[in-house]
Structure 1
Amino acid sequence: IILEYVQGGEPKTRSIDLLDLRPDTDAIALVEEIQKEEPLITASCKEHIIHLVQRLQEKLGEKEDHKFYLFKVLKAHVLPLTNVAFNKSGSRFITGSYDRTCKVWDTTSGEELRTLEGHGNVVYVIAFNNPYGDKIATGSFDKTCKLWSTETGKCYHTFRGHSAEI
């Protein structure tokens, strides 16, 4: 579970690990235990968290045989991809490439929304800012990182240095 909150005017997130959750786990007891350790879970949101845990348990208990199939083939870049990243909602994704660009895509339609151009070498790391997804960060072998607008494709800022890390 990822908790989102605002502290000092800044949006923040905190993760709660539920890797040991099983369909037969007592959801109420689990949430009460988490609540003892996590001050962000107040009495007012406790019922909502219990409901979320119970929904996760239902999913864990499903015995569906999931079938995967080829949904779409996209001709993304002239040169090979280096990576792909989805925004938090999964509605958009970005691709980085050896062709020195990053492309923004609509996940459902497969439509290319825009191309982010400006790096002088391979784009080897890409990321959306979470939870909003309104900015994209790219890192390149040209020793720069760039911060872009997801909506307009405009580059806000270029960071230069010996190691461009996001």
Structure 2
Amino acid sequence: MKKKKKVEKLIRETLYEVELINIEFKQIIDKTKKQGKNKLRGFELISDNDLVDIYTKRKDRKYAALIIELYALVEQLLKDSYSILLDRKEYKKEEDLNIIVDLQEKLKDSIQFDSSFNIKQLADLRNYIIHDTFSLKQARKSLGIYSKNNKALLKRLLKNVYQYVNSIAVQ
């Protein structure tokens, strides 16, 4: 398989993973909405009542985990593309740069990136969540990121990551 085709396959797989994160995000929203009268539901591994309880108690942590996963998807896509396009076994970070920014620089002759995507905000959120407090709400407040709430921020970041990955063009 040619290098370009391999990277394009990686891009499609990453877009699929972003969509799975989006589905999980929507499920969290759906399961934490206030429900009207009890409705008849089918058999499930975890009951809807249990899911509501789980998601309500852990919503902020689940959102934080989704941020980390979004960042990891972009990073892994670029690492795999680096290995394929530059015929290297694996990427090794040489400078004190954000890995995604460093990989974009190293791949700029092989891949065209959408410059409107702001990786810094996603990276800052991810770093705060991992190194300080595992809470998207706390990260958002500490970093001074204005957003109506966690849900609005995550929706925007999901859209941005999807657009970023979808706009990658192998040259």
What TM-score bracket applies, with the shorter chain setting the length? under 0.3
Which structure has more RCO (C-alpha within 8 Å, separation ≥ 6)?
2
Return the TM-score normalized by structure 2. 0.24
Greater fraction of residues in helix: 2
Larger Rg: 1
Structure (1 or 2) with the greater strand fraction: 1
